[in-house]
Structure 1
Amino acid sequence: MATCWQGLWAYRFYLIVLFLPIFLLPLPILVPTKEAYCAYAIILMALFWCVEALPLAVTALLPIVLFPMMGIMDASEASIEYLKDTNILFIGGLLVAIAVEHWNLHKRIALRVLLIIGVRPALLMLGFMLVTAFLSMWISNTATTAMMVPIANAVLDQLHKAPRDKDVEEGSDNPTFELQEPNPQKEVTKLDNGQVHPIPLHPLEPMTQKNEEQHRFSQGMSLCVCYSASIGGIATLTGTTPNLVLQGQVNALYSGNGNVVNFASWFGFAFPAMIILLALAWLWLQFLFLGFNFRKNFGIGGQAREQDQAAFQVIQKEHKQLGPMTFAEKAVTVLFVLLVILWFTREPGFFPGWGNVAFANEKGESLVSDGTVAIFIGIILFIVPSKIPGLTQDPEKPGKLKAPLALLNWKTVNEKMPWNIVFLLGGGFALAKGSEKSGLSKWLGAKLTPLQQVSPPAIVFILCLLVATFTECTSNVATTTLFLPILASMAEAICLHPLYVMLPCTLAASLAFMLPVATPPNAIVFSFGGLKVSDMARAGFLLNIVGVLVIMLAINSWSYPIFNLHTFPSWASRNTSALCFVNTTMPSP
């Protein structure tokens, strides 16, 4: 009997994929309408995403098969949703991020900031959080964490080393700094975004070799890295995939929105929320793992310990080993800064941007998008040489000259680009379009009209808690993909500005702090040892609540002038009756 159950468990994903579509068949059979057909597809995909019976990207391809067969959309209409402007922005942004990572520019930034901040416990934790949050604004949260955790581990080893061990280890190389290099002695972990990152085989020392205080500080340092990676990603439109899902869903559902969600408007909304949440997370982790002894935590009035000096020397040594900035690093830095400037000034909203002036249609609307800018800079990375232009000897063919390689090559991009996210984004856009074409959005809106009697801030608070809870167990991309079209329909039904509901729930999808499986940064930190699930859950529970409160502050204050939330927008009248425009003033928060 036990063998039978073991066999069924081993084949559980095959059985789910086979029987779940059959189990849900009564819905479209008993209710033969397009709304029911679309609901069948959405429920099926949601369950597949939740249990991960199929790879997330493969599940996202189902609308191409189901929607034409159900008569909801033809195949060409469904297929075009898989490569929209938001997908292009994702690809272009990652091209620049891959270049930054490829030339180790992110490591140089991290080590330089840590040298400035210092190694006192509270300041060291703050330094790691600031660096991790900043890097995760521009490159993958997963890649940022995979780089920062070994650095934190090496610094902790020096801080917790007995003084007599210093001379024994002096001058030896620190293997934990071998970041993202091929090495047979390293394990690799494959994360849910399809990227593979090496995990050094140097976990945090067991508690028996440390006192309680050292062990707790190690836990706090580990959590501060993974938490700040998730927090930092919310600040920019390309920082984490749910932000791009929101932009794509808004553009898919409301084609005349005037590009209301762009890089500049999102940054103005999310960056202050990120700063506040990062500061509160630092205070919470400091209280939880370092205690109230601020004099000791900040190193006030005391002399530097030998361990502190040793830890500082480790960081200093690794920074020196990088040497002076190469031509490639300088070129990538210039292009990265240029990209950010072009993003901010394209269509800022409060003054005419270069997109409105130089590349506008007859209505004065910008013809170029953030994706256009990202791809433009991405193409330049394939053109600019990685060394000062000149000729060198080809080592494979003596006597022949060879030009230097470009800043990026396709082999590097192909290895590091998470192509599965492109399909995952496209699947979400196809679901949103199918909901609109089938009439499911309008039906849902009609059923949700009783919520008009509830205070809008109360609705948003409950929804943020729901999304934050849901994202602990499900991919944050899948969470936003499933929730946002429903939230848009609900907002239209009760005459709320759609962004008043969609923006906070998108941020809430990044509040995955409680479980190791919730997000790849959590999994990386947990794999290093020294942490229990209960430790992460205890620290993450309050941080989730704090995150929701910060989001409520953001959506009910400075987001109003940025997105003009005071009135119900004309572009949101997709399925809305004229009653919403009798009094266009939004309810007071």
Structure 2
Amino acid sequence: MFEISPQKMMAAKALKALWEMKNGLILLFTPLVFLPLPLVIETKEAACGYIIALMAVYWCTEVLPLAVTALLPVILFPLFGIMESKDVCMQYLKDTNMLFVGGLMVAVAVEHWDLHKRIALRVLLLVGVRPALLMLGFMGVTAFLSMWISNTATTAMMVPIVQAVLEQLNRGPQGGEERSTPLPKAGEKPAETDGQVVMNGMSMEMEHEVQREKEEQLRMCKGLTLCVCYAASIGGTATLTGTGPNLVLSGQMSQLFPDNGDVLNFASWFAFAFPNMIIMLIFAWLWLQFVFIGFNFRKTWGCGVDKSEKEVAAYNVIREEHKRLGTMSFGEVSVLFLFVLLVVLWFTREPGFIDGWATNLFNSEKEYVTDATVAVFVAVLLFVLPSKPPRLFCFGSRSFDLDSQCPREANPALLTWKVTHKKMPWSIVLLLGGGFALAQGSENSGLSTWLGNQMTPLQTIPPWAISIILCLLIAVFTECTSNVATATLFLPILASMCKSIKVNPLYVMIPCTLSSSFAFMLPVATPPNAIVFSYGYLKVSDMARTGLVMNIIGILCISLAINSWGGAMFNLDTFPSWANTTTNSTAI
């Protein structure tokens, strides 16, 4: 018997106590560790660098909620004389924040009325339940929904559907009976065959067959759950409101380059990012199919083979879920109409190749109407329009005919504030505002200019190489911290670098923004990964190995996009005149 010495026990207890106190220690000692920076170098640049370093550590370790850390510039910028308090506070509710709020209110309405679930089940009924097509269907639906609603909500809605389908596909040999054993989990060994008589080696063959079938089932479970979280992350990159980093880029462009002429709006971003999303989704599907399903076309595609009982049962599960939703209600139709209206107005506001309705309506050089105006307009309509068809001669709780069937209370609106308050991720608004405050503080303090001057030696490296290296760096960094925080920290620095080496800022900032959404390798990297991992099919090594290749696929696809149609769309081979302009201390 080993006996642990008292000294080792005390050391173990001390380490455990330190680990339990780690958040408090990081909170206390991080400001002290970086404090010599503003004390020794008594400049605004050093003070701003101190604040950014402090916030970066807090964001990476999450010792404070991300939104609370984002509020630190309100305290520290006035304290260090970088910006006045009124100018800092103005950064927290800018046009981009209102675009986020309005877009998410529409997304909340779609989620509240189960419109996203109806779309998902309808598409799955169309693609069928052959393994390869089923994976493609789940990925396509998840990516599409993630373009408009949060990737977390999309994943949380899709994974139970995946689970129900897997229950049917992995049923026992008796077609109509329930499984006698649960679905396989990661690291689980097949059950031993007990009480069998070995005759001519038959029981050993049967045991081997059972083990092989269980391994195939586990691979199928891994593949179908992973495809959902990966598709959710990929789909969010296709629209400007699909994920936080895209909005950070839009806001930083308006902040750092106010004369850019609205080069990044909903239509232009979609024209660039949607094809990239489709290409990446196809390669991700092929990769996941290769790893977890294989390319046996007869088995996975069902070429020349009738559906098995398990596949028919899985299809029936999807059909029953769809039937349970019933016919589309008046409220669902109204939300669908407003959603389509929002997308149409976004696309036609300023499409770029022709004058949009905003230009024709307001014949002025000023940009009176932005994507945020459209988003808030449609969001307000959600609180105005009724959720049930109005009845004539029925006003509120009274009616002209007391015996009529008119409701005695006014119809509720399509969306209520109670639902909105519960489902809206308000913390992201503060997180975006903190990023805009950091960018403005870096500009005002001169830190952006100083950083740009330090990066002038990079002029000798081709821009495409700089882009790939930075994408790799950010893809690794975003595995450990929030994708919004990653974009917030890096984009102002990248903008300064592009100014100094005379490269179009979009050439580097767009790929790096997309890369910040490629958190594929770790369960804690993003909420969709954590949701999928909680179902127990995956090990960390499974996600790490598969996610590493996914990161490579993503960076290669971005490089292809930015050096082909992206270069033509944004004139990336030239250094634009708007990139030479800078903001001033009074910029809002």
TM-score by length of 1: 0.89
Which of 407, 432, 441 is equivalent to 1:425?
A: 432
The residue correspondences of 1:183-582 to structure 2 (distance < 5 A) are 208=190, 211-361=214-364, 363=365, 365-390=366-391, 401-574=408-581
CA distance in 2, matches of 1:296, 1:530: 22
- Please list every run of 5 or more consecutive structure 2 residues that lacks an aligned counterpart in the other structure: 1-9, 192-212, 398-404, 584-588
Cα shift at 1:8: 2.2
Contact 1:442/1:575 (<8 A) preserved:
no
CA distance in 2, matches of 1:421, 1:62: 15
Contact 1:491/1:498 (<8 A) preserved:
yes
CA distance in 2, matches of 1:325, 1:139: 20
Residue range with higher mean Cα deviation, 228-237 or 6-15: 6-15
Cα shift at 1:165: 5.4
Aligned length: 540
| 1:67-119: CA deviation from partner (whole Å, max 9, x where unpaired) | 11111100000000000000000000000000000000000000000000000
The residue correspondences of 1:50-65 to structure 2 (distance < 5 A) are 50-65=60-75
Q: Secondary structure at the match of 1:383?
A: coil
Aligned to 2:117: 107
Question: In structure 2, do the counterparts of structure 1 residues 366 and 166 end up closer, same or farther at CA, with 3 Å as the change threshold?
Answer: same
Cα shift at 1:11: 1.8
CA distance in 1, matches of 2:577, 2:478: 32
Aligned to 1:145: 155
CA distance in 2, matches of 1:168, 1:241: 43
Residue range with higher mean Cα deviation, 114-123 or 284-293: 284-293
Aligned to 1:17: 27
CA distance in 2, matches of 1:22, 1:283: 50
Contact 1:435/1:441 (<8 A) preserved:
yes
The residue correspondences of 1:89-100 to structure 2 (distance < 5 A) are 89-100=99-110
Contact 2:383/2:416 (<8 A) preserved:
yes
Aligned to 1:187: none
CA distance in 1, matches of 2:84, 2:471: 35
| 1:528-575: CA deviation from partner (whole Å, max 9, x where unpaired) | 111000011111111100100000011111112222223211111036
Runs of 4+ in 1 over 4 A off after TM superposition: 201-207, 391-394
CA distance in 1, matches of 2:436, 2:185: 42
- Counterpart of 2:569 in structure 1: which amino acid? I
| RMSD (Å), alpha carbons | 1.9
- Counterpart of 1:327 in structure 2: which amino acid? F
Contact 2:256/2:582 (<8 A) preserved:
no
Question: In structure 2, do the counterparts of structure 1 residues 108 and 392 end up closer, same or farther at CA, with 3 Å as the change threshold?
Answer: farther
| 1:464-499: CA deviation from partner (whole Å, max 9, x where unpaired) | 000001101111111000000000000010000011
TM-score by length of 2: 0.89
| 1:231-288: CA deviation from partner (whole Å, max 9, x where unpaired) | 0000000000000000011111111111111000100110010000000000000000
Q: Secondary structure at the match of 1:518?
A: coil
| 1:491-514: CA deviation from partner (whole Å, max 9, x where unpaired) | 010000011110000000111111
Contact 2:184/2:217 (<8 A) preserved:
no
Cα shift at 1:211: 1.2
Contact 2:170/2:183 (<8 A) preserved:
no
Contact 1:245/1:477 (<8 A) preserved:
yes
CA distance in 2, matches of 1:393, 1:120: 52
Cα shift at 1:202: 9.3
CA distance in 1, matches of 2:484, 2:262: 21
CA distance in 1, matches of 2:17, 2:178: 53
CA distance in 2, matches of 1:261, 1:441: 22
Cα shift at 1:163: 4.0
Cα shift at 1:166: 1.8
Question: In structure 2, do the counterparts of structure 1 residues 20 and 359 end up closer, same or farther at CA, with 3 Å as the change threshold?
Answer: same
Instruction: Specify the structure having the higher radius of gyration (Cα).
Output: 2
Residue range with higher mean Cα deviation, 402-411 or 158-167: 158-167
Cα shift at 1:22: 1.1
- Counterpart of 1:211 in structure 2: which amino acid? K
CA distance in 2, matches of 1:547, 1:295: 30
Question: In structure 2, do the counterparts of structure 1 residues 79 and 207 end up closer, same or farther at CA, with 3 Å as the change threshold?
Answer: farther
Residue range with higher mean Cα deviation, 232-241 or 155-164: 155-164
